[in-house]
Amino acid sequence: MATPYRLPPNYMRQQGNSGRHFVGRHDEREKLKILIKDEDTQIIQVYGLPYVGKTSLVKTVCQELKDEINPERLHIKHIHISNNSSWSDISNMYNTFTNCSSITNTKWKICIFDDFQNIQESFLPGFQELCDNDFPLHRNLKIILIFSGGKPFQFDGIRFGKCKVSPLSIKDAQLLFGRCSDIETDDENKEQIHNIIRYACGLPGLLIYFAEKISQFRHNFSFNDIYKMICDETKLNDWLDECTINRRNIKQEMDKYFSQLSHEQQDAIKVLSYFPGRFGIEEAVEMTGSSSQPASKMHVLMPLVEQGLISSDLELQNFQVQELIRAITKQQIDNVHSNDLVKLKYTNIIGKSLMKAQDIYDKGLIYEALGIMRNNWENISFLMKKGIDAPSDGRTYGVYYEITLKASDILMLCHPRDSRQFFQACLQNSLLFGNEEEQALMNIAYGVSLTDLPDGFQYNKAIKFYNAALSERLKIVTVNPKISVISYSNVANLLSRNFGKHSKSLQLLFSAKDIQKKHRWLHMDTSLVLHYIGLVYLRILTYFHGALDIYNQIHPNYTGKMNIIHAIAHCYLLKEEFDKAKSCFKDMLEGYSDRLLSGSSEAASLSMALEHLVYLNLENPQNQLIHLENLLNEIRQLLKRSVHEKQKLRYSDAIAKYQSLKILLVHKLTQNEERAGLLMDSIPVICHHCKSFIRYFNCSRENYIHKLCGLRSNLYEIDIQQRLKIVE
């Protein structure tokens, strides 16, 4: 098929390409005009992804050139090449155009070969000969090749220019979609329209297809309902099979495009497409079979980015396969059994980032470890879900076991809910395929996950798995000494705090201490051991201070050490060293900002410290009022950020209590009763440490409140070791 050799007036405008269905492309338009006007350029190759708007660009530029000069001096032939086109048909149409006597004196004769990627390879020598013969005869002849591909064709002895057409920017894509669908972007549909652009990869042909589909149903359905019907993620594969533009199926066109890529690039797309998330530069380079050499990166990874198949950030540090490309290529590997997929090289490569993050986490650099995990967040979560859902055949079990063995801490930190199910699945598989050591390790990992979840605290259930693991504890020490320290510490904490078995708890804790001493560790788990020993002894501050010193050496700003500082302060209260206790609470206020703690589990720590400063300033009502006002402000902020009803009720009760106390204190100060502040008659509302310490100390409620207020006890002093009965 071919259009008439001389286009009628307003032909381009009738096609609508320079109006409704064409936006942006300012740089490409200018570049194409320069190439057409350049006397030395004979062939211009316009290429890019299917449906990226190559033909529309060429037609728009031709129309703009006609507007700039006398239309009679610009003549165009548009030849479409299909899979069935013969060389005789192509050459006859071309010769008819170039040999026409009525256009010999025109400024430019432009012959457009559209869909040039369909030309048979055997025709290329004939095309080369045609050009060699005609260019010397027709100095004003320009040939434009339009084709779907990632790189231009090579011709001998012919001067050619190239114009790569990229997907639309988000701004231009939104403009085109809005123009074709008559839908304006607002806060309600912004995310959905962004998803449509993402699914369409910024390709104008697909955006127009989506817009027309939506327009068909606008009178009967809301935009949200239409979006769910044809654009939702779950529908993506369905419309890939049905989507036909210009009588061509998009999936078939993209498959043709992929076939032009090198084998390395095709394999890279398939491997990366299996995962939904982003990849850091190191993982992406390894997974695409590239080396760390810049030239190798350019050979495999970077051409995929340049063609728009893979998106990246401006710094080229993070990469992600486009949603449309992933949906098409993923179908090619969906028939492979999921267990075989796990064994592919990317499992081990992603595993490397896990191990690296775990190693940095062990050194106390929590935020740096999270930074590594962030690059592969979605992919690791995806891998864990595969481990949960897919039955293991014994071979993939080894992969999951290695992940649990070497990176359980970082998984629980970043994916607490998924990790619990993952470790449970690994435990079940270990009973089928693992030895005793592996079964013990999986028992520990699952037990830790049961107690670490925000809504977990399933201690009775967890202790069963810990006990099962500890029955093989000597073997565990051989397999992974570090995780045995964690298990000993957690079991000891449960035995002492929840079951009152303090003696057994201390045995395990000192065993853990011996293990870490043997390996000369200085990391978070060492601090954990000393912290729990301090909790069992309660008022022996040596271990608490030792734990705090380790945190200060490794990570001074670690918010988790707030619990230890609170424990030290409460110990000072019980020992009636009130000035030291007050100093601890003040240090917390000065050392941590509300901003730093707002997103952590220690968000209430500042409020707890302020509570105790209110109690301890009985003799200084002015300071007591200042701390009371600061406390109310802190609790109000906690109330705003809280989501659970129990938390909201607790904070509301605290506000009511301290607001009434503030009124009493202000009244007292206005009456010039400044000799003393308010004496509290109840335990602090926010501080959860008090609930534990009053139980451990085994003293009356009244006596405990007196200590909180800085009042010395009149009770007969009993030796601390006798008071804290360490019993089985």
The strand pair at 248-249 and 108-114 is best described as: unpaired
Residues 90 and 42 sit within 8 Å (Cβ to Cβ)? no
Question: 511 in a domain, yes or no?
Answer: no
What sections of 38-107 are H helices per DSSP? 54-68, 87-98
Q: What is the pLDDT of residues 424-442, one digit of tens each?
A: 787 777 777 777 777 777 7
Nearest to 612 by CA among 646, 572, 652: 572
Identify the residue with better confidence: 446 or 454.
Answer: 446
pLDDT at 113: 92
Residue 717: pLDDT band (50, 70, 90) is: very low
Residue 505: pLDDT band (50, 70, 90) is: low
Return the number of other C-beta atoms located less than 10 Å from residue 192's C-beta: 18
Across-strand partners of 492?
none
The strand pair at 318-321 and 279-280 is best described as: antiparallel
Residue 708 has pLDDT above 50, yes or no: yes
Separation of CA 311 from chain center: 15
Return the number of other C-beta atoms located less than 10 Å from residue 235's C-beta: 15
pLDDT at 145: 92
Residue 621: pLDDT band (50, 70, 90) is: confident
Question: 430 in a domain, yes or no?
Answer: yes
- Entry pTM: 0.54
| Lowest-confidence pick of 164-178, 204-218, 268-282 | 268-282
Q: Do 153 and 175 share a domain, yes or no?
A: no
Q: Would you call 647 helix, strand, or coil by DSSP?
A: helix
Q: Do 411 and 434 share a domain, yes or no?
A: yes
Q: Would you call 321 helix, strand, or coil by DSSP?
A: strand
Q: Do 384 and 399 share a domain, yes or no?
A: yes
Tell me the one-letter amino acid at 409.
D
Across-strand partners of 47?
147, 164
Question: 582 in a domain, yes or no?
Answer: yes
pLDDT at 13: 41
Return the number of other C-beta atoms located less than 10 Å from residue 266's C-beta: 16
Identify the residue with better confidence: 209 or 365.
Answer: 209
H/E element, 40: none
pLDDT at 595: 44
Mean pLDDT of 664-668: 85
pLDDT at 522: 46
In order of 29, 490, 596, 720, the CA distances from 366 in angstroms are 50, 20, 14, 37
At residue 319, φ and ψ (nearest 5 deg) are -135, 150
Q: What is the pLDDT of residues 535-567, one digit of tens each?
A: 655 545 666 777 777 777 767 767 667 878 888
pLDDT at 46: 92
| Lowest-confidence pick of 134-138, 229-233, 241-245, 338-342 | 338-342
Q: Do 707 and 573 share a domain, yes or no?
A: yes
Q: What is the pLDDT of residues 129-168, one digit of tens each?
A: 888 888 888 778 888 999 988 888 888 888 888 898 888 8
Q: Would you call 109 helix, strand, or coil by DSSP?
A: strand
Question: 153 in a domain, yes or no?
Answer: yes
pLDDT at 462: 52
H/E element, 201: none
Task: Give the C-alpha separation, 408 to 418, whole Å.
Answer: 12
Q: Do 629 and 697 share a domain, yes or no?
A: yes
Q: Do 157 and 241 share a domain, yes or no?
A: no
pLDDT at 523: 45
Nearest to 7 by CA among 85, 71, 89, 84: 71
56-89 burial, b if ≥16 CB within 10 A, otherwise e?
Answer: bbbbbbbbebbeeeeeeebbbbbbbbeeebeeee
Question: 498 in a domain, yes or no?
Answer: no
Q: Do 351 and 439 share a domain, yes or no?
A: yes
* CA dihedral over 52, 54, 55, 56, signed as positive or negative: positive
H/E element, 558: none
Task: Give the C-alpha separation, 178 to 166, whole Å.
Answer: 20
Identify the residue with better confidence: 633 or 546.
Answer: 633
Q: Do 180 and 161 share a domain, yes or no?
A: no
Output the six-digit token pair for 590.
């000065």
Output the six-digit token pair for 646.
């129990």
Residue 206 has pLDDT above 50, yes or no: yes
Task: Give the C-alpha separation, 253 to 616, whole Å.
Answer: 76
H/E element, 555: none
pLDDT at 500: 59
Percentage of the chain modeled with pLDDT above 70: 63
Mean pLDDT of 179-193: 77
Output the six-digit token pair for 326.
């992933």
| Lowest-confidence pick of 137-141, 319-323, 689-693 | 689-693
Question: 236 in a domain, yes or no?
Answer: yes
Mean pLDDT of 235-248: 66
How would DSSP label each residue in 662-728? HHHHHHHHHTT--S--PPP-S--SS-SHHHHHHHHHT--HHHHHHHHTTPPP-SPP--HHHHS----
Identify the residue with better confidence: 712 or 622.
Answer: 622
Residues 61 and 144 sit within 8 Å (Cβ to Cβ)? no
Output the six-digit token pair for 173.
């894509």
* CA dihedral over 257, 263, 268, 274, signed as positive or negative: positive
Mean pLDDT of 482-508: 66
Mean pLDDT of 302-321: 80
pLDDT at 728: 29
At residue 430, φ and ψ (nearest 5 deg) are -65, -30
Residues 85 and 118 sit within 8 Å (Cβ to Cβ)? yes
Across-strand partners of 146?
46
| Lowest-confidence pick of 171-175, 546-550, 565-569, 618-622 | 546-550
Q: Do 387 and 447 share a domain, yes or no?
A: yes
Q: Tokens 């491997």 belong to which residue?
A: 271
Question: 303 in a domain, yes or no?
Answer: no
Q: Do 580 and 709 share a domain, yes or no?
A: yes
Output the six-digit token pair for 408.
């359980």
| End-to-end C-alpha distance for the chain, whole angstroms | 94
Q: What is the pLDDT of residues 253-303, one digit of tens each?
A: 888 888 888 888 887 787 777 777 777 777 777 777 655 555 555 577 788
Residues 303 and 309 sit within 8 Å (Cβ to Cβ)? no
Q: What is the pLDDT of residues 452-479, one digit of tens each?
A: 544 444 545 555 555 555 555 444 445 4
Q: Would you call 226 helix, strand, or coil by DSSP?
A: helix
Identify the residue with better confidence: 78 or 533.
Answer: 78
Q: Do 346 and 475 share a domain, yes or no?
A: yes
> Domain containing 139: what range?
11-165
Residue after which a domain boundary falls, among 226, 253, 280: 253
Residue after which a domain boundary falls, among 165, 180, 198: 165
| Lowest-confidence pick of 93-102, 109-118, 242-251 | 242-251
Q: What is the pLDDT of residues 35-72, one digit of tens each?
A: 988 888 889 999 988 888 888 899 988 888 888 777 66
pLDDT at 20: 59
Tell me the one-letter amino acid at 406.
K
Number of domains in the chain: 4
* Most confident of the following: 119-123, 325-329, 594-598: 119-123
Percentage of the chain modeled with pLDDT above 90: 1
* Most confident of the following: 384-398, 525-539, 549-563, 609-623: 609-623
Residues 83 and 68 sit within 8 Å (Cβ to Cβ)? no
What lies within 8 Å, CB to CB, of 247 at 6+ separation is: none
Q: Cα 346–350–354 angle (5° rounding)? A: 160
Task: Give the C-alpha separation, 172 to 351, whole Å.
Answer: 39
**CATH number of the domain enclosing 22:** 3.40.50.300
Q: What is the pLDDT of residues 574-609, one digit of tens each?
A: 778 888 888 888 888 876 654 444 444 456 788 888
DSSP secondary structure code for residue 261 in this structure:
S
Question: 500 in a domain, yes or no?
Answer: no
Residue after which a domain boundary falls, among 253, 275, 304: 253
Task: Give the C-alpha separation, 466 to 490, whole Å.
Answer: 9
How would DSSP label each residue in 133-176? HHTTT-TTEEEEEEEE-SS----TT--EEEEEEPPPPHHHHHHH
Q: Do 92 and 219 share a domain, yes or no?
A: no
CA dihedral 178, 179, 180, 186 (to 10 degrees): 20
